[in-house]
Amino acid sequence: MPANSSGYGTVQFALKVQNANIEMRAQLPQGAVSPTVLLPILQSLSNSLCELTVQTASRLGEQLSCREGCGACCRQAVPISPVEARAIAEWLDQQPEERQAVLRRRFRRAVARLEESGIAQEIRDRKDLADRAAMHELGLRYFALGIACPFLEEERCTIHEMRPLRCREYLVVSPAKHCAHPATKEIVGIKPPVLLSQILAGWDTNGETRPPELILLTMLEEWIAKHPAEQDRPCRTSPELLQEFLRAFAKDAADAPSDPRGAPS
């Protein structure tokens, strides 16, 4: 990765997924870095994978129902990775004070509702994230509380450019009216061939792999308080981190089903 005078180098790579080539190009810093520096390129890759998924579904006769101004799914529990938690928290810290106060008040209210319901403690105690039935049931109880995402305003996402990977990957082709009633099981989704959110969930902010833990977007501030930024110790270079991520990507891409239809991710 040749560096320019500002200490950044350009990386270029192409990924083959379901007979499509996705070409990526990004500027990455030299030296040991935190994995948060990879987030913009992963967000861009996620957008490309979602576009590919929508195109494949369209050829199969399915049209995406998701539209700007529809925030029905933004009352769901949104799991995020440690890397995303760190990046969103940093973004929040950089907002003007008044805006921060509004958003932090919403986070506090959301957590208060989760505490009242007992779900906050369940989330802290949950260890087995692979139990899909239990996770689904917890998700339904969370949704029933009607807690809007702190970033949702007038049914629009106010952090669209940096919204979590999980939000990007949630793609629905059934009528939007069903999204307000997830318990009825009438929601039909399409799934990107590789879920970047799942790969990233296993990375901690030191770039080491570890068992995924459940971090909810609404409980972001609690996770940050327990994992202060000072604990981060950049230990690998951006090409090393990128290569590690792309190895995991290639493994998942090799097993990807060709038909994206099913439950939303």
Question: Which residues here bind ligand SF4, judged by CB under 6 A?
Answer: 71, 74, 78, 149, 151-152, 157, 159, 163-164, 167
Under 8 Å CB-to-CB from 170, ≥6 apart: which residues?
Answer: 66, 73, 76, 189, 264, 265
Instruction: Output 74 or 196, the one with its CB closest to ligand SF4.
Output: 74
The torsion region of residue 120 among left (phi > 0), alpha (psi -120 to 50) and beta comes to alpha
Instruction: Output 100 or 231, the one with its CB closest to ligand SF4.
Output: 100
CA distances from 158 to 28, 57, 99, 233, 261 (A): 26, 27, 12, 31, 28
Instruction: Output 166 or 236, the one with its CB closest to ligand SF4.
Output: 166
Q: Give the shortest CB-171-to-ligand SF4 separation in angstroms.
A: 12
Q: Give the shortest CB-164-to-ligand SF4 separation in angstroms.
A: 6
Instruction: Output 37 or 74, the one with its CB closest to ligand SF4.
Output: 74
Q: Give the shortest CB-11-to-ligand SF4 separation in angstroms.
A: 27
Q: Give the shortest CB-226-to-ligand SF4 separation in angstroms.
A: 21
Instruction: Output 2 or 69, the one with its CB closest to ligand SF4.
Output: 69
Token pair recorded at residue 182: 């997830």
Q: Give the shortest CB-191-to-ligand SF4 separation in angstroms.
A: 17
Q: How far apart are CA 100 and CA 94, in angstroms?
A: 8
Residue with tokens 């913009």: 40
Question: 238 burial class (0-12, 13-18, 19+ CB within 10 angstroms)?
Answer: buried
Q: How far apart are CA 265 and CA 169, in angstroms?
A: 6
